[in-house]
Amino acid sequence: MADTAVDVHHDHHGHDDHHHGPTGILKYIWSTDHKIIAMQYLFTGMLMAIIGGYMAYVFRMQLAFPGISVPGFGQVSPGEYNALITNHGSIMIFWVAMPVLIAAFGNYLIPLMIGADDMVFPRINRLSFQVFFLSVIVLMASLFVEGGGFGGAWTSYPPLSAVAEYNQTNLGSSLWLIAVALEFVAFLLGGINFITTLMNSRAPGMKAYDIPLVAWMIVIASILFMLSVGPLVAGAVMLLFDQTLGTGFYDPARGGDPILWQHLFWFFGHPEVYVVLLPAIGITVDVIATFARKKIFGYKMVLYTAVATGVLSFFVWAHHQFIAGIDPRMANVFTVTTLLISVPIAEMCFVIIATLYGGSIRLTTPMLWALAFMAEFLIGGVTGIFLGASGADIYFHDTYFVLAHFHYTFFPIAIIGSFCAFTYWFPKMFGRMMNDTLGKIHFWGTIIPFNFIFIPLFVLGMGGQHRRIYNFQHFPELATPEMFQLRQIATISLLIMIAFQLVFFYNMITSWIRGEKAGKNPWQANTLEWTTESPPPHGNWPLDRMPVVYRGPYEYGHPDREEDYWPQDEPA
């Protein structure tokens, strides 16, 4: 291992690019430094989150106050409504959760946590971001072409998505599909890098079980993504052919089958949930260990349950299709596999909760986010059981109950997980501490409204409110004053939550400029990224002082030591 780490250092030309390559702003655009690429992903993801949030604001306003002219948008037509919900979903999953959780933190953390100077393929890494950026441009363009953005839901079921006559967004739907396919290319390139780097570039002495769990989780997620995305890319190409060349892969009149797409989509779509979940769990585990000053209650258990969840996730996809017209006998098989997945996930949650036992818990801002992740994700987890049980899903399918359920999983993953990671590693990334008071104001201003957005939606879903309807006035049972009140509570909570995000941006910018200097290891954490300067220089450590690892990453509260932490690189 030692040789590899040093060889990589000498062989690649990262340093040369830096010193003799472009200067000025181009230095940041054409950099092959993993930290700069991480920032590119992070800030692109943040920008996309603002766009996705804006879309949510517009359609929530329409739902609570149908027909009003939404400030900053205008009146929402049914076609625009469909395009907004479709792109909100696509953006939040493909252009926020994935770039921030996997690409940004994966790029930033993996080399630093394993004691490498960079990724093993720095140029592929740069290519990954550039392809990703292209996908952003294509997606944004799709919103402004003739006919408007694609409005067939993020699941993009044919024939609606395949035939221009049905979806009325000829160009928008093709561009949306191309953007999604490009995004997959970007993440395949990035994923190859993560997997190879973790396998080959670890510091001397770092064995498999000495790797911080967040690095493991991002790599397991990359493997899941690689294994699941192939069928969907094939499906997307067939859909593109159906759209543009007039083939009939999904057209029953010409021997195709629309359900084929659903299988290909969900074969990817369900593992995708775990692709974004695992990095968020990894972040949570690391942060909880640091601030509870506790060794993880079963490092291997977390790792094995993550792998088990990943493997099982390939056998549950048809629970999205119980009532889609598949053979009803198949539903029983998928009910069994789906409910089995609750076992490793529950175990993972138990381990994280048990880690708190005997700790010395410091409620800093990142710790609050990590704890909130657990508290809220549990709600998402248990409500999923209603939907995995085929009999109950007959009623709940495509209601707001489903919507509230997956927002209780995706919001903790993509938003809470990202804020947790951002506030925790901010001192490392920018060399300064974030303001803790502002951080806590932002935390409560996000968490409380979040629950007030989605709990009413659970109730609406139980009342039979179905999804993707731009105005409920055509459904007398759903147009009652009580139901409108619930919708308005959700929308007003969203407005409050959005307002509190200004606190975050203010805190980020002012702390970046004039926050308190952070030093190398402000949280007294063990992992290797805290042994270098904040922010780390190009190459991460001086060449002659590359770290060497002596122990696992979670040796907190060891009885033989006076301090309650024991850095991985400190000789015994």
Partner 1 sequence: MLERFLVQASTYASDIDGLINLVAVLAGFWFLLAEAMFFWLIWKFRARPGKKSQYLTGKEKHVSRWITIPHALVLVCDVFIIIGSVRVWYNVKQVLPEADSTIRIIGQQWAWTFQHPGADNELDTADDIFTVEDLHVEVEKTYHFKLESRDVLHDFSVPVFRLKQDALPGRSITGWFRPTMTGEFGIQCAEICGIGHGIMAGRIHIEDANTHAAWISSASVATTP
Closer to partner 1 by CB, 357 or 513: give it: 357
**Distance between the two ends of the chain, CA-based, in angstroms?**
20
- Check: CB of residue 344 under 8 Å from CB of residue 284: no
Nearest distance from C-beta of residue 390 to partner 1, angstroms: 4
Closer to partner 1 by CB, 112 or 281: give it: 281
Q: Is 542 in the site for partner 1 (CB under 8 A)?
A: no
Q: Is 175 in the site for partner 1 (CB under 8 A)?
A: no
Beta bridge pairs of residue 70:
74
Nearest distance from C-beta of residue 466 to partner 1, angstroms: 5
Closer to partner 1 by CB, 386 or 484: give it: 386
Find the binding residues for partner 1 in span 108-167 (CB under 8 A).
151-153, 157, 159-160, 163, 166-167
Token pair in block for residue 212: 């911080």
- Check: CB of residue 388 under 8 Å from CB of residue 335: yes
Token pair in block for residue 290: 């640091």
Find the binding residues for partner 1 in span 453-472 (CB under 8 A).
462-464, 466-472
What is the total count of residues that contact partner 1 (CB under 8 A)? 96
Backbone φ, ψ for residue 90 (5° rounding): -60, -45
- Check: CB of residue 251 under 8 Å from CB of residue 518: no
Chosen residue from 2, 47, 361, 502 binding partner 1 by CB under 8 A: 361
Nearest distance from C-beta of residue 168 to partner 1, angstroms: 6
Q: Is 476 in the site for partner 1 (CB under 8 A)?
A: yes
Q: Is 207 in the site for partner 1 (CB under 8 A)?
A: no
Nearest distance from C-beta of residue 135 to partner 1, angstroms: 23
| Omega cis (within 30) before 159 | yes
Tell me 1's DSSP state. Answer: -
Q: Is 360 in the site for partner 1 (CB under 8 A)?
A: yes
CA angle 227, 231, 236 (to 5 degrees): 130
Find the binding residues for partner 1 in span 366-395 (CB under 8 A).
371, 374-375, 378-379, 382-383, 385-386, 389-392, 394-395
Closer to partner 1 by CB, 199 or 382: give it: 382
Chosen residue from 314, 350, 484, 550 binding partner 1 by CB under 8 A: 350
Nearest distance from C-beta of residue 56 to partner 1, angstroms: 17
Chosen residue from 130, 134, 170, 564 binding partner 1 by CB under 8 A: 564
DSSP assignment string, 2-41? HHHHHHHHHHS-HHHHHHHS--THHHHHS---HHHHHHHH
Find the binding residues for partner 1 in span 264-323 (CB under 8 A).
292-299, 301, 323
Find the binding residues for partner 1 in span 236-275 (CB under 8 A).
252-253, 257-259
Chosen residue from 170, 200, 342, 451 binding partner 1 by CB under 8 A: 342
- Check: CB of residue 254 under 8 Å from CB of residue 248: yes
Closer to partner 1 by CB, 94 or 334: give it: 334
Find the binding residues for partner 1 in span 477-536 (CB under 8 A).
477-478
* List of E strands, 100-193: none
Token pair in block for residue 236: 């997307």
Distance CA 237, CA 229 (A): 12
| Contact region with partner 1 (CB under 8 A), list: 11-19, 44-52, 329-337, 485-493 | 329-337
Nearest distance from C-beta of residue 487 to partner 1, angstroms: 14
Nearest distance from C-beta of residue 21 to partner 1, angstroms: 47
Token pair in block for residue 3: 């040789």
CA angle 38, 39, 41 (to 5 degrees): 65
Nearest distance from C-beta of residue 78 to partner 1, angstroms: 4
What are the residue ranges of helices labelled H in 245-327? 258-292, 299-312
CA nearest to 438, candidates 517, 506, 366, 513: 506
Distance CA 365, CA 155 (A): 35
Beta bridge pairs of residue 517:
432
Chosen residue from 6, 50, 185, 340 binding partner 1 by CB under 8 A: 340
Closer to partner 1 by CB, 27 or 293: give it: 293
Q: Give the CA radius of gyration of the chain.
A: 24
CA torsion 436-555-277-268 (nearest 10°) is 150
- Check: CB of residue 112 under 8 Å from CB of residue 569: no
Nearest distance from C-beta of residue 324 to partner 1, angstroms: 5
Handedness of CA 202, 203, 206, 209 (dihedral sign): negative
Closer to partner 1 by CB, 108 or 411: give it: 411
Closer to partner 1 by CB, 122 or 151: give it: 151
Find the binding residues for partner 1 in span 62-91 (CB under 8 A).
77-79, 81-82
